[in-house]
Amino acid sequence: MEKLLKNAEKIKSLEIQGAANVALSAIQFLSDYAHEIEKECQCPDDWFIKLDEVKSILFKTRETEPTMRNGLDYIINKLKKKENQIKCGNILELISKYKEEYINMIENAREKIAEFGARRIPETPSENEFIVMTHCHSSFVDAILLKAKTQGKMFKVISTETRPRYQGRKSAKILTDAGIEVIHVVDSAMRWAVNYFEVDLILIGADSITSEGTVLNKIGSRLLALVAHEEHVPFYVASPLLKYNPQTSLGILEKIEMRSPIEIWDSPPEKIQILNPAFETISRRYIDGLISEAGIFASSHVPTYFAKFYPELFF
């Protein structure tokens, strides 16, 4: 348990970042813990008590991580459906099998998203070079841009710093290393950059998607969506369906994670209240399309496709 708690802290402290990375780490932590407790569990009931305890610990590490929650639910729900067939001797094998299935689901989604999203970048550049803008770090947005690069498409990327933890630098480095020209700006220069560079397309990722098609992403994302709306710039969200939170269809609201004020100012003057919301909502009305493994469509259609692609996770 001590090792599990230390691993959980890696997620909580943001040592592990990115929704996909958090999800993959969490299911690995679940698998590792299952191997540790093998001798303690004499029957399936013992296993499910322990695994549900692990799930609860990992769920509490981050407020806005449906990809992680879906991954843990996927493994445990699949096990519970075979409760009458499994024996303690083969449960580790099944956990490993379902873990690999979920990893493949994420990787297959990434490949499809890259394929569909790259089509939004034109083959032949116009007189003016095609400009894509993004905010924060999204491995799925990166996958689209890297795919477009391998197809020989010509474009520049404007990325934001994404304060206070500067996640935008991660994407900037990945894209630059791949030979893509990147212009990096402070978050507060979003509107100026869209106007000055005459941005053609805005691509962001997502941390969560609700049953109404509302997207939650890094703070600043709604500001960029409003700028896109004002300037008539196509605004797309690249996200696997696994970032859908099925509990929102039952009336449960997705939470906005509030992070430590130390991230913003480690030694502020007394009496200053510092708030550090990690995410904000983007209404479906500002999203031209959601780029997923099922194709590109209105974000409000996510629950339908989620139920079709991942019935094991749908209520």
Question: Could you tell me the two tokens for 107?
Answer: 């990787």
Do the Cβ atoms of 82 and 112 come closer than 8 Å? Answer: no
Mark which of 78, 107, 136 sits at the end of a domain: 107
**Closest to 101 in 3D by CA, of 117, 84, 77:** 77
Catalytic option among 142, 187, 207, 288: 207
Is 207 one of the catalytic residues?
yes
Catalytic option among 136, 187, 200, 288: 136
Mark which of 75, 107, 139 sits at the end of a domain: 107
Q: Report the C-alpha gap between 296 and 293 in whole angstroms.
A: 8
Q: Which domain holds residue 123?
A: 113-313
Q: 89 and 167: one domain? A: no
Q: 253 and 142: one domain? A: yes
Q: 266 and 135: one domain? A: yes
Q: Dump pLDDT digits (tens) for 177-226.
A: 999 999 999 999 999 999 999 999 999 999 999 999 999 999 999 999 99
Do the Cβ atoms of 22 and 16 come closer than 8 Å? Answer: yes
Q: Report the C-alpha gap between 176 and 183 in whole angstroms.
A: 10
Q: 145 and 187: one domain? A: yes
Q: 132 and 217: one domain? A: yes
What pLDDT shows up at residue 28? Answer: 95
How many C-beta neighbours within 10 Å does residue 103 have? 16
Q: What is the pTM of this model?
A: 0.92
Number of domains in the chain: 2
Q: 119 and 233: one domain? A: yes
- Look over the chain and give the mean of its residue pLDDT values, rounded to a whole number: 92
CATH number at residue 133: 3.40.50.10470
Peptide bond into 164 cis (omega under 30): yes
Q: 183 and 270: one domain? A: yes
Is 136 one of the catalytic residues?
yes
Largest interatomic CA distance in the chain: 70
Percentage of the chain with pLDDT > 90?
A: 77
Task: Please state the length of the chain.
Answer: 315
Q: Dump pLDDT digits (tens) for 68-116.
A: 999 999 999 888 887 666 665 688 888 999 999 999 999 999 999 999 9
Q: 135 and 93: one domain? A: no
Do the Cβ atoms of 205 and 170 come closer than 8 Å? Answer: no
Q: 144 and 79: one domain? A: no
Q: Report the C-alpha gap between 201 and 141 in whole angstroms.
A: 12
Q: Dump pLDDT digits (tens) for 113-126.
A: 999 999 999 987 66
User: Nearest 5°: phi and psi at 251?
Assistant: 95, 0
Q: 284 and 263: one domain? A: yes
Mark which of 107, 135, 168 sits at the end of a domain: 107
Q: Please, what is the end-to-end C-alpha distance for the chain in angstroms?
A: 30
Q: What is the CA radius of gyration of the chain?
A: 21
Classify the C-alpha dihedral 93-294-65-114 as positive or negative: positive
SS3 sequence of 183-216 = EEECHHHHHHHHHHCCCCEEEECCCEECCCCCEE
Q: 58 and 86: one domain? A: yes
Q: Dump pLDDT digits (tens) for 212-253.
A: 999 999 999 999 999 999 999 999 999 999 999 999 998 988
Q: 139 and 279: one domain? A: yes
Q: Where are the beta strands (DSSP E) in the chain?
A: 130-134, 155-160, 181-185, 201-204, 208-209, 215-218, 235-238, 279-282, 289-292, 295-297
CATH number at residue 25: 1.20.120.420
Q: Report the C-alpha gap between 74 and 49 in whole angstroms.
A: 16
